[in-house]
A and B are shown apart, each in its own frame.
Chain A
């Protein structure tokens, strides 16, 4: 089935740096979601986006729903060690079919 193209696959950054990751697709999505997976745990929802062009923040996290409905980005500002994990984008196609990106593995060096 249609998958989302998520990049980068992995990132190694210094504590305090900003982070940016994105997801693109050839399909139009109704909703974009960003999840974080801590080691040994299941994914947890960070941000949900429902309207094209929507920009939403959750603490140090900011995500945007692309105007074409085919892409989304997630930014993390001033990273801290507990930001380590795998970040997944997920999109809900208009038929309520959820698709996930392959994930971005984030490593933060103290």
Chain B
């Protein structure tokens, strides 16, 4: 089954404690991206990757890091989480950037206290 998986689905952590949210897709997609979803703001792109070892900033990259060492994986790293990063995070993948259908993961709800 074609899918995008994220782990963990729920995470509660404290300010400053480094964390990683994993994302994996099994569709051999080149393009992957991370979004955060906040009430009234919709989906905002954090980072995206056009291919292995190619990453770029989206609209709201501050406080986040990503890496793309393999085509299927695109982890999101918060080196020093802060309460304003409490949000619902989605990973997505598609064949290419833009018009191709993006497949979204199930989401990771992060709470930073």
Residues of B within 8 A of A11 (CB): none
Q: Which chain B residues lie closer than 8 Å to A41 at the CB level? A: 106-107
Q: Mark B8-39, 1 if CB is under 8 A from A, else 0.
A: 00000000000000000000000000010000
Tell me what chain B mostly uses at the interface: helix, strand, loop, or mixed. loop
Among the stretches B42-50, B64-72, B73-81, the one at the interface with A is B42-50
Chain A 1-14: CB-based contact to B (< 8 A → 1; otherwise 0): 10110100100000
B90 A43 Cβ-Cβ under 8 A: yes
Nearest residue (CB) in B for A101 is B42
| Residue of B whose beta carbon sits closest to that of A44 | B104
**Chain A residues near B4 (CB, 8 Å)?**
42
B1 CB within 8 Å of chain A: no
Structural contact, B98 and A98, CB atoms closer than 8 A = yes
A41 and B101 CA atoms in complex are apart in Å by 17
Q: Are B104 and A88 in contact, CB atoms less than 8 angstroms apart?
A: no
Closest A residue, CB atoms, query B104: A42
Contact (Cβ within 8 A) B107 A31: no
Tally chain B residues at the interface, Cβ within 8 Å. Answer: 21
Question: Which residues on A sit within 8 Å (CB–CB) of B44?
Answer: 100
Asked if A1 contacts B90 (CB within 8 A), the reply is no
Contacts of A76 in B (CB 8 A): none
Contact yes or no, B40 A42, CB < 8 A: no
Q: Is B110 an interface residue (CB 8 A)?
A: no
Q: Would A96 and B43 count as touching, CB distance under 8 A?
A: no
Interface: A15 (CB within 8 A)? no
Contact check: which of A92, A96, A100 meets B42 at CB < 8 Å? A100
Chain A positions within 8 Å of B, measured between CB atoms, are 1, 3-4, 6, 9, 30-31, 33, 40-45, 48, 50, 88, 90, 92, 96-98, 100-103
- A selection of 19 A-B contacts at a CB cut-off of 8 Å is A6-B42, A30-B99, A31-B99, A33-B101, A42-B4, A42-B92, A42-B104, A42-B105, A42-B107, A45-B101, A88-B42, A90-B43, A96-B98, A98-B45, A98-B102, A100-B43, A102-B40, A102-B42, A103-B42
Ordered nearest first, which 9 A-B pairs have the shortest CB separation? A42-B104, A96-B98, A100-B43, A102-B42, A100-B42, A1-B59, A96-B97, A92-B98, A31-B99
